[in-house]
Structure 1
Amino acid sequence: MNYREFGKRVLDLILASLMFLILLPVFLILFFLLLIHFKGSPFFYQDRPGKNSKIFRIVKFKTMRDLTNSKGELLSDDQRLTRVGKIIRKSSLDEIPQLINVLKGDMSLVGPRPLLVEYLELYDADQARRHEERPGVTGWAQINGRNTISWQQKFEYDIWYVENLSLALDLKILFRTLWNVIRGKGISQQGHVTVGKFTGNQGERMGAERSTMEGVLEK
């Protein structure tokens, strides 16, 4: 049986079903806790591009308030993230509802993380290859730095995964993800509550050049 075409989906269905049943008590506790905490829906929904860039709606537990400025624009992440949200995010419990996306077939347990729809037009041809597979709850980039690595590194990891996908690799990623979650490793970049926005390859190159220049000046 071809793992990429059939085995991966079978593994997703079996493991996601088992994980959801095991985590159901935690799911229900968080559901009611966040229902009260946010005085409404405990879930965060957002459109994301999936396999072949097909748009789907991702679901996560909510960790931020919908606070806006006088112009109606959302405030920064660190201003909107609540104390409860920080705990849930640090422990990666906000990701539990994505098991529903996996069961529906929108996502896989392992694959490139689904990013924002607005990034689609910013990718070059190589970076767009990350959409050749279903996006994952976790992935190769996540166990190699998660939000602490640059966008360029993240895309390189994603493309490497797409080219080297296998059962052994998926199992390795799942085990290392569990270990990273236990340690709370790679949750955010220095100076950011969450990862900064991708602004395109020109911005990425300029950022790399600034970092190199800063390193030269420090010497």
Structure 2
Amino acid sequence: MEYEFRIHPMKTAKISNTFQLMKRLFDVNLALFLLIITCPIILMTAIVVKIESPGQIIYRQERVGLHGKKFIIYKIRSMYTDAEKAGPKWAEKNDDRITRVGRFIRKTRIDELPQLWNVLKGEMSMIGPRPERPVFIKEFQMNYPNFIQRLAVKPGLTGWAQVNGGYDISPKEKLKLDLEYIHSMSLKSEAHILCKTVKIILSGSGAR
């Protein structure tokens, strides 16, 4: 079933054109740089993923982006191909659907690297609320009426909620942190989130 998500014009984030331009230039330059230097890592990971379990190397999934526009997100597959035979399910800690290689690439965030292509295409930003699947947004919106307001800005590869709890926080906590980010977006906050992201990647914390 198709779900449509629309943000009321009066509730969209008020962001200056200058900030948006600077943020986009930052996104493009950093994404391009990271894609170039991580290409060998992506290729080696792709080979190992293919050797360990059958199925496509790159996992494609529909997500909801800016103002409710849907797009296809790219990730290196970290689960077995029949992971959702029982229906959509949020990843859990020690999830038995995740492969051995998958656990490593999730911990190191290598599985997220293909999303740099989403950033270059303009569907995502380096920093912003993580994009959710339509079915989960519909579910969370029923329990938390403001959840859809996360769509007021472009989704990100990392974000304020990710560096303050990651996968271990509830949808309600995620909403609170994402709205805090949206209401206080600035170059300073972007730099702060980026620095915290680097620390988390190096420590391997918050993954599941």
How far 1:49 moved relative to its partner?
Answer: 0.1
Counterpart code for 2:170 = S
Distance 1:16 1:167, change over 3 A: same
Q: State yes or no: 1:79 paired with 2:96.
A: yes
Task: Give the Cα separation in 2 of the matches to 1:18 and 1:46.
Answer: 25
SS in 2 for 1:89: helix
Match 2:63 to one of 48, 73, 77: 48
For the 8 Å contact 1:66–1:74, the answer to whether it is kept is no
How far 1:171 moved relative to its partner?
Answer: 1.3
Task: Give the Cα separation in 1 of the matches to 2:182 and 2:191.
Answer: 15
Match 2:32 to one of 17, 20, 32: 17
For the 8 Å contact 1:126–1:159, the answer to whether it is kept is no
* Cα deviation 1:79-133 (Å, max 9, x = unaligned): 3211111111111110100001100111000000011111333424422111011
Match of residue 173 from structure 1: 193
Match of residue 132 from structure 2: 115
**Structure possessing the higher radius of gyration over alpha carbons:** 1
For the 8 Å contact 2:55–2:81, the answer to whether it is kept is no
Distance 1:25 1:68, change over 3 A: closer
Question: Comparing both structures, which one devotes a greater share of its residues to helix?
Answer: 1
Task: Give the Cα separation in 2 of the matches to 1:184 and 1:68.
Answer: 23
Q: State yes or no: 1:96 paired with 2:113.
A: yes
For the 8 Å contact 2:54–2:81, the answer to whether it is kept is no
Match of residue 7 from structure 1: 22
How far 1:75 moved relative to its partner?
Answer: 9.8
C-alpha RMSD of the superposition = 2.0
Match of residue 58 from structure 1: 73
For the 8 Å contact 1:112–1:139, the answer to whether it is kept is yes
Following superposition, which runs of at least 4 residues in structure 1 exceed 3 angstroms of deviation?
1-4, 74-77
Distance 1:43 1:68, change over 3 A: closer
Match of residue 53 from structure 2: 38
Higher relative contact order (CA 8 A, sep 6+): 2
Q: Which runs of 5+ in 1 are unaligned?
A: 189-219
Counterpart code for 2:116 = L
Match of residue 5 from structure 2: none
Task: Give the Cα separation in 1 of the matches to 2:36 and 2:133.
Answer: 29
Write out aligned runs for 1:149-164 (5 A).
149-164=169-184
Q: Which runs of 5+ in 2 are unaligned?
A: 1-15
For the 8 Å contact 1:92–1:181, the answer to whether it is kept is yes
How far 1:42 moved relative to its partner?
Answer: 0.7
Task: Give the Cα separation in 1 of the matches to 2:20 and 2:107.
Answer: 33
Counterpart code for 1:51 = L
How far 1:4 moved relative to its partner?
Answer: 3.6
Distance 1:81 1:185, change over 3 A: same
**TM-score, normalised relative to structure 1:** 0.78
**TM-score, normalised relative to structure 2:** 0.82
